[in-house]
Amino acid sequence: MDKENFHFFAFLSRMKYINRWGLMRNTYTENIQEHSLQVAIIAHGLAVIRNTYYNGEINPERVAILAMFHDCNEIITGDMPTPIKYYNPQISRIYKDIEDISKEKIISMLPEEMADEYYSLFFKNPDDMECWKLVKAADRIAAYIKCIEEVKAGNNEFKKASETILNTIAEIELEEVKYFMDRFVPSFNLSLDEID
């Protein structure tokens, strides 16, 4: 009996080959697999903070899973630098279409019976909108942390990006984001010996 092979998981394993911050000189190269894990950890934390301190009823595990898959399409598209991606509305629209096509392509690497489960992880639906807000916030926070680490390592290339990203985070109207930024982010400025 012939078996059909599916490439979905082997393809996703290639996330480790797609580097972020392509237009910037990096002291440490970050790939989208590493980034996705950090975003998932932060997004999960934001959900727990919301539930613990702000009477939230959001599923932290769902938020973390969405974050894990949020950049998978970049295996095909690469990591488009933010200044280019949002340069003007036309480029943003075209890039959104490219993202959707790349997500469809990756989902097509699954057995048909499994595709619906993953479709809901790749494409936003109304039931998950609160979760996606936390994923987006976590994505910004992770980018800011990358900037902190680069500047701390003496790489002033990330200084302006740090200021810009911090301003975008300040515009996010979620109490859990403010809590995370006030209580957890300052530790990223410390050395290992200073963290105890």
Cβ(78)–Cβ(86) below 8 Å: no
* Measured distance CA(190)–CA(192) in Å, rounded: 7
* Measured distance CA(35)–CA(15) in Å, rounded: 10
DSSP assignment of 109-122, as one string?
TS-HHHHHHHHHHH
Q: Which domains does the chain have, with CATH numbers?
A: 8-188 (1.10.3210.10)
Backbone angles phi, psi at 185, to 5 degrees: -65, -35
Who contacts 128 (Cβ-Cβ below 8 Å, separation ≥6)? 62, 66, 120
* Measured distance CA(94)–CA(70) in Å, rounded: 18
Q: What is the pLDDT of residue 2?
A: 57
Q: Going residue by residue through the chain (196 aa), what tens digit of pLDDT does each one get?
A: 457 889 999 999 999 999 999 889 999 999 999 999 999 999 999 999 999 999 999 999 999 999 999 999 999 998 877 777 777 888 888 888 999 999 999 999 999 999 999 999 999 999 999 999 999 999 999 999 999 999 999 999 999 999 999 999 999 999 999 999 999 999 999 998 999 7
* Measured distance CA(68)–CA(149) in Å, rounded: 22
Q: What is the pLDDT of residue 78?
A: 85
Cβ(46)–Cβ(63) below 8 Å: yes
Q: Indicate yes or no: pTM above 0.85.
A: yes
Kindly list the distances between the CA atom of residue 89 and the CA atoms of 36, 84, 161, 164, in Å, as whole numbers in the listed order.
26, 11, 21, 19
Backbone angles phi, psi at 26, to 5 degrees: -115, 140
Element (H, E) at 53: helix 32-53
Q: What is the pLDDT of residue 1?
A: 46
* Measured distance CA(116)–CA(108) in Å, rounded: 11
